[in-house]
């Protein structure tokens, strides 16, 4: 990890892959990741951790399956949202977006339980920035 300031625009410009987060820094035992997204991710669940999203550019939609039913939250640029642990969810960005994620190091992008992983989704625990 760098001990210098990191410009998120520069970090995002350093890679093209979609749904493939880069770890820009760590805070205690948490990764701060940035990623570019477009289209749909997959339905998945993180059993033991919440998942924090911040939209840096574009618009992100997160569909949620909750006890009261299914709903979708719309996150414009600058919005934040936390998906509670154990909640099945599916992010999507029809027109594309850049997002920042904050979650425990080692958290898989496809959760602990998930649908089949399509080729356009990187099933990873994050890539170091610059790798």
Q: Where are the alpha helices (DSSP H) in the chain?
A: 8-13
The dihedral built from the CA positions of residue 46, 85, 76 and 26, taken in this order, carries a sign that is negative
Judge whether 1 lies within some domain: no
Q: Within a domain: residue 15?
A: yes
Assigned domain for 42 exists:
yes
Long-range CB contact pairs, 75-79, < 8 A, 24+: 78/54, 79/54, 79/55
Per-residue pLDDT tens for 14-26? 999 999 999 999 9
Q: Is residue 83 part of a domain?
A: yes
Domain that holds residue 114: 8-128
Averaged pLDDT, 94-116: 93
pLDDT tens profile 42-60: 999 999 999 999 999 999 9
Domain count, the chain: 1
- Please report which confidence band the pLDDT of residue 130 belongs to, taking 50, 70 and 90 as the band edges: confident
Residue 3 falls inside a structural domain? no
CATH number of the domain residue 97 falls in: 2.60.120.10
Q: What is the dihedral of CA 49, 29, 16, 131, to 10 degrees?
A: -140
DSSP-assigned states of every residue in 101-115? EEEETT--TT-SEES
Question: Are the C-beta atoms of residues 79 and 52 closer than 8 Å to each other?
Answer: no
The Cα-based distances of 115 to 48, 56, 74, 91, 99 in angstroms read: 18, 27, 22, 13, 22
């Amino acid at each position: 990890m760098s001990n210098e300031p990191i410009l998120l625009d520069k970090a995002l410009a350093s890679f093209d892959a979609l749904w493939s987060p880069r770890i820009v820094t760590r805070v205690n035992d948490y990764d701060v990741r940035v990623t570019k997204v477009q289209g749909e991710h997959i339905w998945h669940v993180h059993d033991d951790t919440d998942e924090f999203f911040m939209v840096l550019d574009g618009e992100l939609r997160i569909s949620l399956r909750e006890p009261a039913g299914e709903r979708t939250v719309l996150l414009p640029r600058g919005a934040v949202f936390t998906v509670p642990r154990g909640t099945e969810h599916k992010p999507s960005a029809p027109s594309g977006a850049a997002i920042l994620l904050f979650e425990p190091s080692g958290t898989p992008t496809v959760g602990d339980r998930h649908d089949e992983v399509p080729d356009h989704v990187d099933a990873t625990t994050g890539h170091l920035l610059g790798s």
